[in-house]
Structure 1
Amino acid sequence: MDKDKVLRYASLDGKLGLSLQKLGQIVGKESVVFASNGKYYTKAQAVIQILYSLQGIYRIISIILSIFPFFIMDFVYSLIAKYRYRLFGKRESCFLPGENVKELFLD
């Protein structure tokens, strides 16, 4: 979805993720964290910020989602996270980035 390759990725268990936890920028093992301009977003807010950073329909979807209160969006996010394997299936192996996307990973 990130055709312009504006997003960068790091594992929460990697050097960057662990250092952000030590600094108190993120708390615990959030499943998704989005960082932009020194601000950190988690759960539904992170998803909305990620969608907004993309072009086209994704930006429109993020604007529509941001209308809803975040406590409701976080509840829906948590439900999807809890039942994600039932909804989307489970892979037998982890994703390994190819050469064409390796530069997008920070650590």
Structure 2
Amino acid sequence: MMIEDGKKIILFDGVCNLCNSAVLFTIKRDKNDVFRYAPLQSKIGKRLIAERNIDPKKLDSILLIEPDIAYYYKSTAALHIAKQLSGIYPLLSVFLILPRFFRDWIYDIIAKNRYKWFGKKESCMIPTPELNALFIDQ
């Protein structure tokens, strides 16, 4: 699938149970159809990472790619995603006022333990037919 103009792309760890759950959570609350999704491990994920000169070793679970060359990772990505969701979730963006090193410290604790706490799949998530249109590089 081609990347649609104007869509923000969420790259996620496709084998992480927590990450997959977060993607499904986001899909349910993306009422304005802002996002498209792809695993970090996919061809498109690797291409988008390379195009932005991002060191893949520094990525551990989530990357938000804006329609231009901009991107966010770790806690900043999660909070910018929350800002676009329906319900009370945009209120979480208030945490962007906290220093990034502090937000990312908390994020890193969760990311480091995500497989131990939430488990890991053998392969990347395969979306159901009704969700397939939201995923790129299938």
Q: Which of the five TM-score ranges fits, normalised by the shorter chain?
A: 0.7 to 0.9
Q: After TM superposition, list the pairs within 5 Å mapping 1:1-80 onto structure 2.
A: 1=25, 2=27, 3=29, 4=31, 5-29=33-57, 30=59, 31-38=61-68, 39-63=70-94, 65-80=95-110
Counterpart-to-counterpart distance in 2, 1:7 and 1:76: 25
Residue 45 of structure 1 contacts residue 70 of structure 1 at CA under 8 Å; is this kept in 2?
Answer: yes
Give the alignment's Cα RMSD to 1 decimal: 2.0
What stretches of structure 2 of length at least 5 have no aligned partner?
A: 1-24
Moved more, 34-43 or 90-99: 90-99
Residue 51 of structure 1 contacts residue 59 of structure 1 at CA under 8 Å; is this kept in 2?
Answer: yes
Q: Which has the higher contact order (CA 8 A, sep 6+)?
A: 2
Q: What letter matches 1:90 in structure 2?
A: G
Structure 1 outlier segments of 4+, above 4 Å: 91-94
Q: Percent identity?
A: 33
Alignment-derived partner of residue 100 in structure 1: 130
**Which of the two has greater strand per residue?**
2
What stretches of structure 1 of length at least 5 have no aligned partner?
A: none
Q: What TM-score, normalized by structure 2, do the two folds share?
A: 0.66
